[in-house]
Structure 1
Amino acid sequence: MKNEAVPASREDTNPSLPQGDFEEPLTYAEGGLQGWCVVLGSFCAMVSVFGLPNTAAVFESYFSENQLSEYSPSQLGWIFSIYLFVLFLFGILAGPAFDRYGHRGLVAAGSLVMIASLEILSFCTEYYQIILTFSIMAGLGASLLNTPSFAIIGHWFNTRRGLAMGLAATGGSFGGVIFPFVLQAALPRFGFAWSMRLLGLIYLIFAVPTNLLMRTRLPPSEKFDSIWPDIRLFKEPKFAFCCGGVFFMEYGVLIPLTYIISFSMSKGRDASSNYLLPILINVGSIIGRALPGFVADQIGRFNTIVLTVGLCTISVFAVWLPAGSSWPALLVFTFIFGFASGGNVSLIPACIGQLCDSRDYGRFLSTAMLSASFGTLLGIPLGGLLLGIKNQETAWTALILFSGFSYVVSLACYIAARVLAVGWKLNAVY
């Protein structure tokens, strides 16, 4: 049976929504030296933006045993959830600013703020100090980098956008692989302060290609004078369901990323071997961020994200929940989950891009990130509250179920968005 392709173009959007008045049809380079250099620059930016949250399990384990040992898992969870909340919340301003003014000022400022935050973090010993530097300052710098780094790819790619964004998104997983190795070697030998300064140096190295390689190609949008996102975009049902999928996906993904080391330690594993778990998640995520992007360009972006969210759901319920103290089962879960969740991360920007004109992309993406920001703010602390249940076996079961059912709701939202677009036709490329 022949597949029915649904174009990823302006026609896919609701004409009643506020779109820019663009008379000229868009053309795309779909690669070339400059286009792939932009992807490389975005990759380097993602190392900085998502390298820290993808190493959250290492930080959570270290903080709980050292300078913040008197704080509960829920309190420690706020460190990482506020970082992501600030990242996505202030990203809603970065998107329209990118559409209107370009990327250079945003990317340069974001790079400097992130490097400075790690240098200041090296002096921090108190909970409130870590919140101010790690969560708020670094999160603010990351917000200035994140949206432009994805939006700029939309200037160069259309039919290959899923692949290009997937390759760029692997930067976050690459950071999640190298940072645990760095911290595992540096923390016992040099201590927390110099380990953070070393991370700051790594961030400086990656900031150079980030700022040199990124270039816009399309003219700025003249239609919108305000840098604020447009809440009216939620009137479009497909966009609203897509944002709902993002919101509940954040609940699901952050639980394993943050608590997988603590889960393994509760089963009697030693700390040194547990560092392998976030590394394995991110190795799987590197493959997962690149391969589904390529597949999405062939079978449809929403079709692919339905598959990857479904795989996350299965991995949580069928592998992590019954794993118990089985180390091989936990290794299998971390790799499968890393692969599937990595695909989700790279596909979200591509799915949003399918719902709008590329010249409005920053505004649409940043508005979608508004919903993600509240998911990231609440997900980890709620998980920490569940770990406060006195019976530890019950607590971990409740935490895993919370992650799994969050994915179930996210999956339902993405299916609803797809059905609204193409109905129940399984062979429709969308």
Structure 2
Amino acid sequence: MLNTTPSTTIAWVGTLQGVILILGGIVTGPIFDRGYIRELLIIGTIITVLGVMMLSLAHEYYQILLAQGICVGIGSAILYVPSITLVASRFQRRRALAVCIATSGTAVGGIINPIIFSNLQSKLGFAWATRILGFVTLAELLLAMTIMLPATRSKTPHSIRSLLDPTAFQDPAFMAFCLALFLMWIAYWVPFFLLPIFAQFKANASSNLAFYVLVIANAATIPGRFLAVPLSNKFGPARTMAAFALASSVLFFGWIAVGSIASTIVWAVLIALFMGPLAVIYPIIVPHLSPDKDLVGTRMGISSAAAALGTLVGFPVTSALNDNEAGVFWKSQVFNGCCMLGGALLMVYVYYKMPRKA
């Protein structure tokens, strides 16, 4: 449908959706703190499914951008931060495992949904393949609500508080944590957007094989996420996050030497294995950096906004540094490696500033 649209332009749809998803936490976090989790889940479900269904009617790039990038992005934003905050705030002893299981749905969806869509599209066409995914999404979200809502009905009056926590901006550890997320998330989504392009133009892979390189990378994030659980429990989430970020930065620099399809697949597995846990660990850290448990959602939203801004910076800078047709990617690889390294060093600072139990 978008055969004449450059791949970098198409990638903006996913980038915009990701930015809105994470940035929305700055609003939905405080709303969660006020006790409106039920309303957030219902509204988020409606908007997300509406966006997917509207996507099935799209024929032009701007229509896809509006439906998938903006509408689904807004719906997902309403759902994401409150759901993760709920898990992080309700589990104490096994918080790392609980957040790991909750966030692993992203990786599972990244494996299953593209394969389902690819097979359905070849048989039923784009419109009906998208509608079927919309109904699947609706069923999944309704199931999630039946599990979450009974335990989240508030029996106390909703308190009124600011959408922002002013004390957060006076907390050196929390501000360093937000800056670390900003730097890490400049690089975090780059492999997932760039790998298919890299596989085609640098490793000379077919478009079909390039698609499955991304699927393989999504699959590799799952063991990495579960690996983060025992490590976080033993060494603390801050040190564990610093270690994974450092390993990811080394892999970004090592990406420069990758040239064949075999080495591309190996690198995709390794970067997903070491970078995937970052999305699991940071929600675990936020409660440790929240002096008031009633502000966990607000601070989760602020930190997520920092990550979203990093995502917004990362994609255009990476695109500007690359020359896809010539197979020149080393500039963006060095840039993203430096950003991830900076985030790792900041997490070391956060570790020494946060409570010892973390």
Superposition TM-score tier, normalisation by shorter sequence: over 0.9
Unpaired runs of 5+ residues, structure 1, are 1-65, 423-427
**Does structure 2 retain, via aligned residues, the 8 Å contact 1:231–1:367?**
no
User: Which residues in structure 2 correspond to 1:391-406 (within 5 Å)?
Assistant: 392-394=326-328, 396-406=329-339
Q: Aligned to 1:414, which of 331, 339, 347?
A: 347
Q: Aligned to 2:199, which of 264, 267, 278?
A: 264
**Does structure 1 retain, via aligned residues, the 8 Å contact 2:121–2:129?**
yes
**Does structure 1 retain, via aligned residues, the 8 Å contact 2:187–2:311?**
no
Q: Does 1:95 align with 2:29?
A: yes
- Cα separation, partners in 2 of 1:67 and 1:390, compared to 1, 3 Å: closer
The 2-side partners of 1:391 and 1:174 are apart by 32
**Does structure 2 retain, via aligned residues, the 8 Å contact 1:80–1:380?**
no
Residue in 2 aligned with 1:382?
A: 317
Residue in 1 aligned with 2:304?
A: 369
The 2-side partners of 1:107 and 1:335 are apart by 33
**Structure 1 position 370, deviation (Å):** 1.8
Query: Which letter does structure 1 place at the counterpart of 2:219?
Result: V
Residues 67-108 of structure 1 deviation map (CA, whole Å, 9 limit, x = unaligned): 1523462x3332222212211222211111111123111011
Query: Which letter does structure 2 place at the counterpart of 1:275?
Result: F
Unpaired runs of 5+ residues, structure 2, are none
Q: Aligned to 1:291, which of 215, 219, 227?
A: 227
Query: Which letter does structure 2 place at the counterpart of 1:144?
Result: I
**Structure 1 position 219, deviation (Å):** 6.7
- Cα separation, partners in 2 of 1:220 and 1:322, compared to 1, 3 Å: farther
- Cα separation, partners in 2 of 1:159 and 1:298, compared to 1, 3 Å: farther
Residue in 2 aligned with 1:330?
A: 264
Residues 101-147 of structure 1 deviation map (CA, whole Å, 9 limit, x = unaligned): 23111011111111110110111122221121111111110011011
- Cα separation, partners in 2 of 1:122 and 1:292, compared to 1, 3 Å: same
The 2-side partners of 1:390 and 1:117 are apart by 31
The 1-side partners of 2:96 and 2:76 are apart by 22
**Structure 1 position 222, deviation (Å):** 6.0
Query: Which letter does structure 1 place at the counterpart of 2:256?
Result: L
The 1-side partners of 2:156 and 2:261 are apart by 52
**Does structure 2 retain, via aligned residues, the 8 Å contact 1:77–1:381?**
no
Q: Aligned to 1:216, which of 148, 152, 165?
A: 152
Residue in 1 aligned with 2:182?
A: 247
- Farther off after superposition, 400-409 or 108-117: 400-409
**Structure 1 position 213, deviation (Å):** 0.5
RMSD between aligned alpha carbons?
A: 2.1
**Does structure 2 retain, via aligned residues, the 8 Å contact 1:352–1:364?**
yes
Q: Aligned to 1:119, which of 45, 48, 53?
A: 53
Q: Does 1:307 align with 2:240?
A: no
Q: Does 1:195 align with 2:133?
A: no
SS at match of 1:159: coil
- Cα separation, partners in 2 of 1:88 and 1:390, compared to 1, 3 Å: closer
Residues 50-82 of structure 1 deviation map (CA, whole Å, 9 limit, x = unaligned): xxxxxxxxxxxxxxxx41523462x33322222
Give the TM-score normalised by the residue count of structure 2: 0.92
Residue in 2 aligned with 1:281?
A: 217
Q: Does 1:358 align with 2:293?
A: yes
User: Which residues in structure 2 correspond to 1:87-166 (within 5 Å)?
Assistant: 87-166=21-100
The 2-side partners of 1:301 and 1:220 are apart by 32
SS at match of 2:189: helix
**Does structure 1 retain, via aligned residues, the 8 Å contact 2:107–2:221?**
yes
**Does structure 1 retain, via aligned residues, the 8 Å contact 2:34–2:158?**
yes
**Structure 1 position 403, deviation (Å):** 2.1
- Cα separation, partners in 2 of 1:289 and 1:268, compared to 1, 3 Å: same
**Structure 1 position 252, deviation (Å):** 0.8
The 2-side partners of 1:274 and 1:362 are apart by 38
The 2-side partners of 1:123 and 1:222 are apart by 40
**Does structure 1 retain, via aligned residues, the 8 Å contact 2:289–2:354?**
no
Give the TM-score normalised by the residue count of structure 1: 0.77
User: Which residues in structure 2 correspond to 1:226-241 (within 5 Å)?
Assistant: 226=162, 228-241=163-176
- Farther off after superposition, 208-217 or 278-287: 208-217
**Does structure 2 retain, via aligned residues, the 8 Å contact 1:241–1:417?**
yes
The 1-side partners of 2:350 and 2:136 are apart by 40
The 2-side partners of 1:195 and 1:403 are apart by 35
User: Which residues in structure 2 correspond to 1:163-202 (within 5 Å)?
Assistant: 163-202=97-136
- Cα separation, partners in 2 of 1:250 and 1:160, compared to 1, 3 Å: same
Residues 360-401 of structure 1 deviation map (CA, whole Å, 9 limit, x = unaligned): 2101101112212211222212222223x487233x112222
**Structure 1 position 192, deviation (Å):** 2.2
